[in-house]
Structure 1
Amino acid sequence: MAYNNDYEIEISDDSEATTATTTDVESSSFRDKPAILISKKKNQLIQVKKMLECRANKYFAHCSICKSNFSISNGGVYLINRHIEFANHKRFAEIQAKKNSRSICDFIPPSSALTKLTAAELSLVYHGVRHGYSYISQSCTVDLLKKIFNESEIGQNISCGKTKARELSVNVLAPFFTSKIIQQIAQSSFYSLSFDGSNKGTIKMFPL
């Protein structure tokens, strides 16, 4: 068996001479075709590459799309092109194309239950810090949420008492927002800083 340079399909050395003759004629006509027909030929060559030698019979070709064998002893490439136009082959080609095409969502791993729970706890702490709630009130809010959302998996597993709320605020949220502010300042030529205070009883509190 040998590879034909024009169509990249295996041709038996002892197959009928008409096959090689047909290939030579079509190769010559392929070079003489206008550009639009050459483009069509290239598309056909892509389909021809999907045809493999049938191990059971050297005069047959095996289609990797529809998993069938068909004779190419008297027609060569013509019979391959005719097979490509069959309705059954087109149907299997469409099915394979749908399997090969994947949505961008398939490449994004789904959020695990732990990730969702972590996001809920961080959101709760961020909300409390932004509005000046104490860490003690944060613990009370969590107990209330467990009762309100008793059928929710996140509502039942959320745990964010005063100690954990402080750790998330100081060691997670604060470094994150600090780095964001530094990046924005580095990109600006001029800037000004302002901050607001909050009341805690009779004491006025300012961030440092």
Structure 2
Amino acid sequence: MCHYNKDWENKYSWITKANVHTRAYCKICRNELAVAEGLKGVNQHASTKKHKEAESAQAKSQRMDSFFTPKGSAQSEKVSLAELADIFHSVKHHISYLAQDCSLNVRKQTITDSEIVKQMTGGRTKCTAIVNQVLYPYSMELVLEDLKEVMPFFRRY
């Protein structure tokens, strides 16, 4: 009787060790397979219809990672700055959140060569959150700083 061999992971990226030492786990099929006969059991599993179909579907579909920018990356920073500037512009010119969302959708359809525009989001909920949690507090800080420097209506004793 054979046991799971860690070296198989070098040849088959879809295999990992299961809880029992005589079994392996297929990441593609999300199923355990017997390795009592060694590599023969792994090869038999790889040739099954279920595994081949799952492998084909995985190759054709996009990974979820492709839809998101890693947090803290340079690209993520650029996207955040673009979103913030866009929302600030909308607030400054009294553009509604609904119109802001619509204009962003138009930009995404017309400016197709920009990775930053492709990743921007600006729905009503996000716009509201950015205005209330970022732009408003920062603008209040600026106003208070200006008032501390120039207080014509207070007398200092």
Structure showing greater radius of gyration is 1
TM-score by length of 1: 0.38
